[in-house]
Amino acid sequence: MPSRFTVIFAIVLIEALMFAAPSHAGDTIMQKPIRWLFHGPGIAAIAADDAVARILDDTQPFVMKGRNIDAAPSRWNAIPFASFTSFRAMRNALAQGTLAPDVKGIMYDNEKWQFTPSVEQENPERYERLAADLVHSRGLLFISAPAVNLVAVLAPESPDKRYDTYLRLGIAAEAARYADVVDIQAQGSERNTKLYANFVSQAAAQAREANPKVQVFAGISTNPSGQQVTAEDILRAIAATRDNVDGYWLNIPQPSEYCPRCNGFRPDIAVEVLRRLAKP
């Protein structure tokens, strides 16, 4: 029979193991497969690091069609998609047959900016449905990514904070109802892990209630609207939401008319995030 000391020691050891926390955020993430969505020159930067590029083998990431699409290694089995900021542009491209033949899906990126007509910003549910019907009629996947800044159009007098207003307006539910994939553009809050996790978890739940079959992605970024973030910030955001989503849109922006507040191009942060996530 074990001694009283042995039993006490065993209990203490078990409790210590249960509550011991890893030193890095990346180490806390469950080993559940992550789906990814990439676009822009960041694709080439990730592919250039052979060790990190191999992490994505056979993961079927969504990759935005453009001049960098060829940089994605064929062994990724990537799913090419085209992105549009207006329903009109999407409709014209499909009518004129200008999409590349290998495109498998279309993203509708409705935001409060000059690239989306005001009528679409003011009626997101209507245009989500129209876009989804059009895309599905062509046998393509529909990816919806309504921006959080739409709340400034839909509820300009709201006393609530923008994430609370986004949830109250049911924007995630409206987008998910007609989509195959919905992206929650939460990247602006990723430095505040608690805020990011609360928003993503509630928006994801709202999306799945509207459409249990939808794949839910959350936005993360190496430079969200000019904010200085680190790989550790992003890894904490992922660790806090990994069980709530199917994947992440890893945005690696650079200054452009689409991101006028962006600072320097930082693919090194994305590479570090992917490397840390792959650690055993």
Q: Can you read off the two tokens belonging to residue 216?
A: 């839910």
Residue 158, in any domain of the structure: yes
Residue 149's nearest CA partner among 182, 96, 113, 116 is 113
Residue 19, in any domain of the structure: no
Residue 269, in any domain of the structure: yes
Domain count, the chain: 1
Residue 194, in any domain of the structure: yes
pLDDT value at 122 more than 70: yes
Containing 172, the helix (H) or strand (E) segment is helix 171-178
pLDDT value at 3 more than 70: no
Per-residue pLDDT tens over the stretch 257-266: 666 566 778 9
Q: Any idea what the CATH number is for the domain that residue 130 is in?
A: 3.20.20.70
> Which of the four pLDDT bands, split at 50, 70 and 90, describes residue 225?
confident
Residue 200, in any domain of the structure: yes
pLDDT at 15: 38
> Which of the four pLDDT bands, split at 50, 70 and 90, describes residue 9?
very low
For the chain, give the percent of residues with pLDDT over 90.
72
Residue 9, in any domain of the structure: no
102 vs 36, 81, 82, 144, 216, CA distance in Å? Answer: 19, 8, 10, 20, 23
- Four-residue CA torsion sign, 149, 155, 157, 159: negative
pLDDT at 29: 44
pLDDT at 264: 78
Residue 17, in any domain of the structure: no
pLDDT value at 79 more than 90: yes
Least confident interval from 92-96, 136-140, 265-269, 270-274 = 265-269
What is the domain extent for residue 58? 28-277
Task: Say if residue 184 is exposed, middle or buried (CB neighbours under 10 Å; 0-12, 13-18, 19+).
Answer: buried
Residue 23, in any domain of the structure: no
Amino acid at 109: D
pLDDT (average), residues 240-266: 83
pLDDT at 31: 58
The torsion angles phi and psi of 212, rounded to 5 degrees, stand at: -60, -20
CA–CA gap between residue 181 and residue 132 (Å, rounded): 11
Amino acid at 16: A
